Amino acid sequence: MIPDDIRPNDLHPAARNELKTLQADVQERVARHLAMVAMLIDDDPELAHQHALSASRRAGRIPVTRETLAITAYRTGDFALALRELRTYRRLSGLEGHVALMVDCERGLGRPEKAIETALEADTSKLDTEQRVHLAIAVSGARLDLGQTQQALFELEIPELNPKRAFSWSPELFGAYAAVLEDLGREDEAREWYRHADRAAGALQDHLGSLDELEVFEIRESEPVPDEEPADEEASDREPSGDSDVDAEAGLDGTAADLGDVEPEEAAEIAAEVDALLAEAGIGDADAAGAGAGSADGASEAEERE
């Protein structure tokens, strides 16, 4: 079962990209299973393995599902299944990145000679630095399995064995070198390399811890510029707000414009409607004309007074 809050977006984008050839519903289900693997692999590898099996059954031709199943099988100690899935992943993807894990699986199956042979067959030019370091550690372990302690030490004497610099692989590499020195009876050198391993781990922890710090910036609103002229509020009020057909004819208080602004045709229609209403009320044209004349006389008297 997958919790409802686990979504396909919880999976790494590179892995999600590989699932795009699947149908939408299958793609979503597989992505959620793989997201569960990433969440559980450290705390509950057995349950993570079950999710990896479910993803592989639904998308067996997708490299990332076979890779995930191989890793969970390795974490649960099923080295035969892990080795088989790693070979399938290499065939599907053409990548050699997990050759160190394949060497370890051969060791887990009690075949150190086959482990060394697997390492020698790998094209190390296709590996990045971290993968080459892990391969050297795995081959050194296979040499120890065969009782070849001095050769095991030689396998670890690579350019990355530099105590003055710390990388993600440095603590493991320094610790493996110290362990082989200890097996050879070189106790003082072993203690020194254990110290190098601890120092590298501490430096990495400090570095990674600093990356987790949350940096907060306080943003203050800028003060108004003293020399700046105040904005013309009336102009902003008169500016149309977007409903231009309404606002353009509205007053500053937002009310509608006066009817005196109507077009002549509209005024004639209104006058005709008034005449009709007056006729229905029994008021003749003469009364209307008299009213009109009175209005005209009043207007003339007003002009004379002016």
pLDDT band at residue 141, thresholds of 50, 70 and 90?
very high
What pLDDT is attached to residue 214?
47
What pLDDT is attached to residue 259?
41
Distance CA 89, CA 98 (A): 9
Mean pLDDT of 224-233: 47
pLDDT band at residue 247, thresholds of 50, 70 and 90?
very low
100, 124 Cβ separation under 8 angstroms:
no
Lowest-confidence pick of 54-63, 81-90, 255-264:
255-264
Lowest-confidence pick of 49-63, 69-83, 152-166, 286-300:
286-300
Dihedral of CA atoms 262, 267, 269, 275 in degrees, nearest 10, equals 140
57, 45 Cβ separation under 8 angstroms:
no
What pLDDT is attached to residue 242?
41
53, 70 Cβ separation under 8 angstroms:
no
What pLDDT is attached to residue 115?
97
Distance CA 48, CA 33 (A): 9
pLDDT band at residue 105, thresholds of 50, 70 and 90?
very high
Distance CA 286, CA 284 (A): 5
What pLDDT is attached to residue 210?
55
pLDDT band at residue 217, thresholds of 50, 70 and 90?
very low
Q: At a CB cut-off of 8 Å and minimum separation 6, what does 271 contact? A: none
Give the 3-state DSSP-derived string for 32-65, with helices as H, strands as E and coil as C. Answer: HHHHHHHHHCCCCHHHHHHHHHHHHHHCCCCHHH
Mean pLDDT of 159-183: 94
Distance CA 191, CA 295 (A): 119
pLDDT band at residue 206, thresholds of 50, 70 and 90?
confident
User: Quick count: other Cβ atoms within 10 Å of Cβ 104?
Assistant: 24
Helix extents (H) in 94-186? 99-108, 112-121, 129-145, 149-156, 170-183
What pLDDT is attached to residue 221?
47
Mean pLDDT of 17-36: 95
Domains of the chain: 1-93 (1.25.40), 96-209 (1.25.40.10)
Lowest-confidence pick of 29-43, 131-145, 222-236, 247-261:
247-261
Distance of CA 164 to the CA centre of its chain: 35
What pLDDT is attached to residue 144?
97
Mean pLDDT of 260-272: 57
178, 190 Cβ separation under 8 angstroms:
yes
